[in-house]
Chain A
Amino acid sequence: MKEKKESQIINAIRREVETENSRQNDGEVKLACSETNCSTYCSDHHDADH
């Protein structure tokens, strides 16, 4: 039987949330991606800004 391929979208979002949660648990400031109001996704800029 052909193995079902895992969704890359799902995996990326799960990793993003896990990273945020682990950073918060370590006492670090949570990523700022929840603070934007327009479509300037902070999450697109994690590498550059965090």
Chain B
Amino acid sequence: MRKKMTVMILPVGLRCNLACSYCYHSGDPKRASCSEQMSDEVLQKIIVDSSYLAESVDFLWHGGEPLLAGIEHFRKSLLLQKKTSFVGRVRNMIQTNGTLLNDYWCEFLSSNRFLVSTSIDGPEAINDANRISMNGKGSHKKVVDSIARWKQTGNKIGVVSLVTKDSVDYPKEVYKGIIASGASSCAFHFCSQNDDGSVAVLPKKEQVIEFFKSIFDLWFADDNPNFPIRNFKNILRAMFGGAPIECASRVGGCKGFIAISSGGDVYPCHRFVGRPKFCIGNINKKSLAEIYNDASGIYEKMCLIPSKCGQCHLIGVCGGGCAYERLVGGGSFQSVHPECECKKAICDYVKKNATANKR
């Protein structure tokens, strides 16, 4: 049994009420399906099986848009968690697009101590260039309202922000827009290529580097420790001997995750959901612990970093990067991460400019 595990649950699979142009699931026909929903039987199996998988479990509710599963689904889940004996602690986290987070949801999630994160790409014009509903309407206003609503419960909220060709030339606007949204913390994601190469919003590498340099300068000048930006925090933590926060930046980080889609199909990570080749089992046929243990070969492959990375001075910060992105961007898990050069330039810039402040 592992010490800790993050069990990612996709209660409605890839179903989503938004149609973001850069979504890595955009090519999947199931994304628009309006019927996909996890059954009570699958939910029960996940919760009970998780107690045999690890001592402490973080349930990370993901999607698609997990709130589409309805509040009753989450109520049942919490009841099952209470009935099940876990060795260590259990926590619930949710990654929502923020468009459905009304007072009712806020009260429910807050009173049950969920950690909530959402997505916003900057001010309205930048966010709504890509984060749109099925009928093309922007999501910015709803998300900002949801952030305010959630913060009224006394909780913090992190945001994920994607760097696209629509935002990359406007770092100041993006930074100010995210601060103005009320977010408590932020993580910028590189816009990555989809399997079919369909993403049309990829910025150029040189633009991305300049974007991150500008964002760092703005953040460092503000000097607000209560607004962490994960990309830079990872680098600064490494300077003091700490481990990076996110899975993708740690060698072996993939091993702490497993993802289950609505029908019970299990994947090493939510990024692989919908790719049958990477399905490692179904929870209706085997226990989660058996599936995880039987898939050790796949996890090993995902965690085996390219030899070039092993010699890199930034391996403690980057960890080789996300295995899924190495696969999609380079063709195999052994490929160097497609954003390697960007990451190096950003790391070196942050280290150089923060060094003057290191005690």
Contacts and interface: CB of A to CB of B under 8 A. Distances in A.
A35 B357 CA distance: 28
B158 A44 contact: yes
Contact of A37 (B224, B247, B354): B247
A40 B95 contact: yes
A42 B359 CA distance: 26
B117 A39 contact: yes
A16 B239 CA distance: 12
Contacts of B228: 41, 43-44
SS class, residues of chain A in contact with chain B: helix
Given A9-B224, A21-B241, A44 B184 contact: yes
B171 interface: no
A1 interface: no
B160 A10 contact: no
Contacts of B211: none
B50 to A, nearest CB: 14
Contacts of B270: 37
Nearest to A37: B247
B156 A8 contact: no
Contact of A38 (B4, B117, B250): B117
A34 B245 contact: yes
A44 B185 contact: yes
The 10 closest A-B pairs by CB, nearest first: A39-B158, A17-B242, A12-B225, A40-B115, A7-B357, A38-B95, A39-B187, A17-B240, A40-B117, A39-B117
Interface of A: 6-14, 16-18, 20-21, 29, 32-45, 49
Given A38-B158, A39-B185, 5 more contacts: A7-B354, A36-B245, A38-B60, A40-B95, A41-B185
28 contacts: A7-B354, A8-B224, A8-B225, A9-B236, A10-B354, A10-B358, A13-B225, A13-B240, A14-B240, A16-B237, A17-B242, A20-B242, A21-B241, A34-B250, A35-B6, A35-B247, A36-B6, A36-B115, A36-B245, A37-B6, A37-B269, A38-B158, A38-B160, A40-B93, A41-B245, A42-B115, A44-B185, A44-B228
